[in-house]
């Protein structure tokens, strides 16, 4: 099930990079109001699991991805609940070109037990992410990359007890790359906020 979701999500992102996504409703992009340079700390609940209860809207997530979503529109179906957060931004339809057709997504899911990512290990583009913070928190992290020539879709998934975070971005011509290390830092900073 999880493998199917990730493959579908990666394929959807590849299409959005090519400008084939459904246009999102036009919104003003929120401005950055928070310093995200602080060192990550553990944001845990009473039972020791990590939590994203402090995230009340996608406006709370946007400052952490401001570098990559400048000029992008929020999805009209962004959602925040106690068990799941899905925030995304993409290029306004009128601005889409092969060089800037891009989307960025951040997803949180409340998952207490360690997921089994081993079925993904044999897939093309799979790469484990080694990080001291992830290891210290008994977590797991990996990236999936789909290279489509002029750009690449890169999805980074981080699990720490209580939370799975997926940050999807990629590599685009002449724009900041949202790769595995950047996605991991975004997740760490949001969990520490």
Q: Is pLDDT at 3 greater than 50 in this prediction?
A: no
- pLDDT tens, residue by residue, 173-193: 778 899 999 999 999 999 998
Among 46, 1, 2, CA closest to 140: 2
Confidence at residue 20, expressed as pLDDT on a 0 to 100 scale: 32
pLDDT score recorded for residue 22 = 31
Q: How far is it, in rounded angstroms, from Cα 154 to Cα 156? A: 7
Note the pLDDT tens digit of each residue in 155-178: 999 999 999 999 999 998 778 899
Confidence tier at 47 by pLDDT (50, 70, 90): low
| 186: three-class secondary structure by DSSP | helix
pLDDT at 176: 87
Q: What is the mean pLDDT of the chain?
A: 80
Alpha-carbon distance of 100 to 62, in angstroms, equals 19
**pLDDT at residue 87 above 90?**
yes
Backbone angles phi, psi at 75, to 5 degrees: -60, 145
What span, in angstroms and rounded, lies between the C-alpha atoms of 14 and 25? 20
**Beta carbons of 75 and 67 less than 8 angstroms apart:** no
Half-sphere exposure of residue 14: CA atoms within 13 angstroms, side-chain side: 13
C-alpha–C-alpha distance, residues 40 and 122, integer Å: 31
Alpha-carbon dihedral angle through residues 136, 139, 140, 141, given to the nearest 10 degrees: -70
Contacts of 61 (CB under 8 A, 6+ apart): 55, 85, 87, 106, 190
Instruction: Answer whether 105's CB lies under 8 Å from 168's CB.
Output: yes
What percentage of the chain has pLDDT greater than the value 90? 63
**Are the C-beta atoms of residues 53 and 45 closer than 8 Å to each other?**
yes
Average pLDDT rounded to a whole number, residues 7-12: 39
Which pLDDT band holds residue 150 (cuts at 50, 70, 90)? confident
pLDDT higher for 2 or 147? 147
Chain center to CA of 121: 19
3-state secondary structure of 140: strand
Alpha helices in 28-179 (DSSP H): 58-61, 66-69, 132-136
């Amino acid at each position: 099930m999880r493998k199917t979701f990730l493959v579908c999500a990666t394929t959807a992102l590849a299409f959005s990079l090519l400008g084939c996504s459904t246009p999102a409703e036009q919104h003003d992009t929120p401005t950055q109001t928070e310093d995200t340079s602080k060192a990550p700390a553990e944001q845990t609940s009473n039972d020791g699991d990590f939590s994203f209860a402090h995230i009340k809207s996608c406006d709370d997530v946007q400052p952490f991805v401001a570098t990559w979503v400048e000029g992008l529109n929020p999805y009209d179906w962004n959602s925040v609940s106690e068990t799941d957060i899905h925030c995304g931004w993409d290029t306004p339809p009128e601005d889409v070109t092969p060089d800037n057709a891009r989307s960025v997504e951040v997803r949180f899911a409340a998952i207490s037990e360690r997921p089994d990512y081993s079925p993904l290990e044999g897939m093309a583009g799979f790469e484990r992410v080694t990080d001291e913070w992830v290891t210290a928190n008994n977590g797991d992290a990996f990236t999936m990359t789909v290279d489509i020539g002029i750009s690449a879709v890169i999805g980074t998934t981080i699990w720490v007890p209580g939370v799975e975070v997926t940050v999807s971005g990629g590599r685009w011509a002449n724009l900041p790359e949202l790769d595995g290390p950047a996605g991991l830092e975004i997740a760490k900073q949001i969990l520490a906020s």
